Homo-oligomer: A and B are copies of this chain.
Amino acid sequence: MTDIPGLGNTLVCLSTMIQRRYAQICADHDLTVAQAQLLCLVKDRPRRLGELSHLLGLAKPGLSGLIDRTERRGLVQRVSCAQDRRACDLTSTPLGKEIGDALHADVGARLPEIVADLPADDRATFAGLAAEITGCH
């Protein structure tokens, strides 16, 4: 494969730009990045902890603590699962749902400012390629 010089660094820079802005948006909704990501996964449907662990790339104890903190803020709730009494579903509270929806809207509105300097057709091209890479459709 043809190497593109400096691409590695460019990707790190890009990712840092996105993370910084995303963290700011989260903070504006009084959320940490980790809590925001948890909330977004859970705000529209309940999920098993094991599933969350996989999606977030966290080991069990890390997830457990993250849920503890988020539950303490009243955004999320453990619900014991009827089919398997060992297991837990995590759901969002009404407050969590509300905040999660607001965050999602804000991310959609403000994060793309990062590419605002590009001409419109480049912006569309970039968005398409990024969607391709991530598999986010």
Contacts and interface: CB of A to CB of B under 8 A. Distances in A.
Interface stretch (A8-16, A64-72, A82-90, A94-102): A8-16
Tell me what chain A mostly uses at the interface: helix, strand, loop, or mixed: helix
B13 A15 contact: no
Interface of A: 1-15, 17-20, 22, 57, 104, 107-112, 114-118, 120, 122-127, 129-137
Q: How many copies does the complex hold?
A: 2
Contacts of A12: 18, 22, 107, 111
Given A15-B18, A108-B6, A134-B13, A126 B129 contact: yes
Contact of A127 (B4, B13, B20, B137): B4
